Structure 1
Amino acid sequence: MLATLEIVDLLDRAEGIGQIILQSDVMEEYQVAKKQLENDEEAQALIMKFTKIKEHYEDVQRFGRYHPDYNSIMKEVRSVKREMDMNEKVAVFKKKERELQKLLDEVSNQLAKSVSEQIKVPRDGMALMDSGCGCGTGGGCGCAAS
């Protein structure tokens, strides 16, 4: 019975931490940036354009340099991604997203260290990171365009 009460107490405390994060300035700024991004027609068009070219890019990646469109798709993906990233709403959203990730990383680190110094905690959102290229080399091929 004691273990059950301890678990309930831990769950309550975890819920409290979650609520603090949800009510933080960082989360509020992230939500505002997300809403602005979702409501910006130009940004959404750029995101859709990037998503479409990325699908083609992933098809080309299955064959690598042997695909006839390899060079052109690589250039086009980089160009479209740069165009999307240069959009003000996209840039602000990405900045706020990184700030929120930093907060979550700090909270995770504090929680882990309060339990034991031996607990390993991913930093900079590394648990969620991907090389971005989809080719399976971990970015070693230099194609990390997505």
Structure 2
Amino acid sequence: MIYTEEVFEIEDCVLELCQKIISSPQATEHLHNRFSIENDLKTKVKEQEFIKAREAYERIEAYGKHAPDYTEKRRKLRQEKRQLDMDEHVSAFRVSERELQEVLDRVTYGIAQSVSKDIKIDAGNPFFEFADKGCGGSCSVG
């Protein structure tokens, strides 16, 4: 690649865009929620209990119902997962994570569409409704 002034200008614009995203309310909230998870003792205990239950289940998972305590360990894993998911800090983190991902998806879509309307974006989000989905060609079935 030949580096021209135009490439450096694009790089400057990208850095500016990154700074705007990082300082956005969604990114700020996301970082705050991540900090809350990392520094809340009750949440850390729930996370450790979940990890312990997951490891116990993974050791016997391949044997299925033939393994001793398979049902109990699977149930324990699900209970610990639910406890972790219901934690206020974890749920707030997940909400902020989705909101930040939506911002990133919209920015990506906007950049792609400014280059060409034919560029398809796979956001990995089934609710990514503002973008056209599909293969972009005549790939209909039947």
- Report how many aligned residue pairs link the two structures: 126
Distance 1:79 1:111, change over 3 A: same
Which residues of structure 2 form unaligned runs of 5+?
Answer: 127-142
Conservation of the 8 A alpha-carbon contact between 1:47 and 1:84 = yes
Higher mean alpha-carbon deviation, 63-72 vs 110-119, is at: 63-72
SS at match of 1:117: coil
CA distance in 1, matches of 2:25, 2:111: 20
Return the offset for 1:96. Answer: 1.0
SS at match of 2:4: helix
Give me the CA root mean square deviation: 2.3
Which residues of structure 1 form unaligned runs of 5+?
Answer: 127-146
Distance 1:24 1:73, change over 3 A: same
SS at match of 2:80: helix
Give the match for residue 57 of structure 1: 57
What is the letter of the counterpart of residue 5 of structure 2?
A: L
Higher mean alpha-carbon deviation, 61-70 vs 112-121, is at: 61-70
CA distance in 2, matches of 1:47, 1:80: 8
Q: What TM-score, normalized to structure 2?
A: 0.75
Distance 1:53 1:27, change over 3 A: same
User: Looking at CA atoms only, which structure, 1 or 2, has the larger radius of gyration?
Assistant: 2
Higher mean alpha-carbon deviation, 58-67 vs 11-20, is at: 58-67
Identity of aligned residues (%): 33
Give the match for residue 106 of structure 1: 106
